[in-house]
Amino acid sequence: MRNTNRRIRYLLPVFLFLLGAWFTFDMITEVTDAVTPVAVLNILSFPWRVDVTFILMIAIPVLLIEYALIAVPVAGLLLLYASILRSASYEMNIMNIGTEFGGIRMVRRAVAPALFSLSSSGILIAIIENGLFGSNPVIPPGMEISYNFALALMAALLFLPVSLAFFMPTWVLNDAGIVTHLKDDKLNIRQCPDTQGVGRWVGNVLGGFAIIAYPISAFTNYFWDRYFVEPYVEMTVTNLSRSLFWTVGLPFLVMAFVLPVIAANELNQKRLRRQISGVAKKMGAAVVLKPQIEKIDSEKALAARRRVIQKEGILETEEVAEIITSAKGIKKPKKNDKRKKKPAKKK
């Protein structure tokens, strides 16, 4: 059975989602119980625990609706952008990539959007604090650390739709195998062959920023400012441990809300692949096979070398046939098209 069809691979993402959602609920309700929010934002006229539960419950449907509406259209725009920007040296095609994508890879895919959201949501913290707790919130002693991390978590979750708007299209492109590679005439130049997924090309820029920005912003906000610049929290082993724990833990809580969207992407692979492949076909893309890297360590091995065609990949036979037959500009030879040889000229 192919890995893409195994339901067991969803167990880890589901477990981490439930665990992260519970800790998020517990953290936010703990702070809202200790620091009373302003009454005007009590949208349901119920206790704040009910309000927080309602908001967290509708967060997932909102993210899934966003995914359904913008993932493929934005992926198409990225294809257009990549084809224009790299057209001089690269051509774009559809590579028949592998099929394996387990639960651990789903979790790893959620890391970059979560870090990007945490790194970029700093501007929302002051807005949330003023709107939710007022300009002069009364924070009980010992709640300062939890209060600040809860604000950071709420800001990151509020910014998460923006973060996913950048990352979801890259998943669609990566899973469909849309790649750019050097044109044949560029391979004669003294440079290494370069084949890269369009989604990875864009995702590396966003993910690289997030991976660098979050540790810097976390150290500045949760350690340097808190304990050195404006030391409003006593520097003790307990407080430092709590700050370190939540600095590492916040990304996992935000990742929990990314995992349902990743699972939805996995469940809709064939439909999404068909849609984005159709866009790529209109731009002139065709199906290409994965290059095989073979180690040649002797003249005998070089003489015995044979080209191996990998038949199994993420594209199925009918999908490849559909792409080939519907691609524009491909002329099929006629069966009875036999060229007559010209008679030799008499001397």
Q: What is the pLDDT of residue 171?
A: 94
Task: State the residue for tokens 């044979």.
Answer: 306
* pLDDT tens, residue by residue, 213-230: 999 988 888 888 777 776
Whole-number Cα distances in Å, 27 to 225, 239, 253: 22, 16, 10
Token pair for 54: 């309602």
Note the pLDDT tens digit of each residue in 173-218. Answer: 999 888 888 887 777 777 777 778 888 888 888 888 888 999 998 8
The helix (run of H) or strand (run of E) holding residue 144 is helix 144-176
pLDDT tens readout for residues 253-295: 999 999 999 999 999 988 888 888 888 888 888 887 777 666 6
Contacts of 82 (CB under 8 A, 6+ apart): 92, 180, 198, 201, 202
Sheet (strand 90-95) strand order: 195-197, 178-182, 90-95, 287-288
Helix (H, G, I), strand (E, B) or coil at 92: strand
Chain segment 124-179, per-residue pLDDT in tens: 888 888 888 877 888 888 888 888 899 999 999 999 999 999 999 999 999 988 88
Q: State if pTM tops 0.85.
A: no
> By the 8 A CB rule, do 172 and 199 touch?
yes
36 Cβ contact list (under 8 Å, min separation 6): 133, 138
DSSP-based three-state secondary structure for 290: coil
Half-sphere exposure of 24 (CA within 13 A, CB side): 26
- Give residue 332's pLDDT: 47
Secondary structure (3-state) at 181: strand
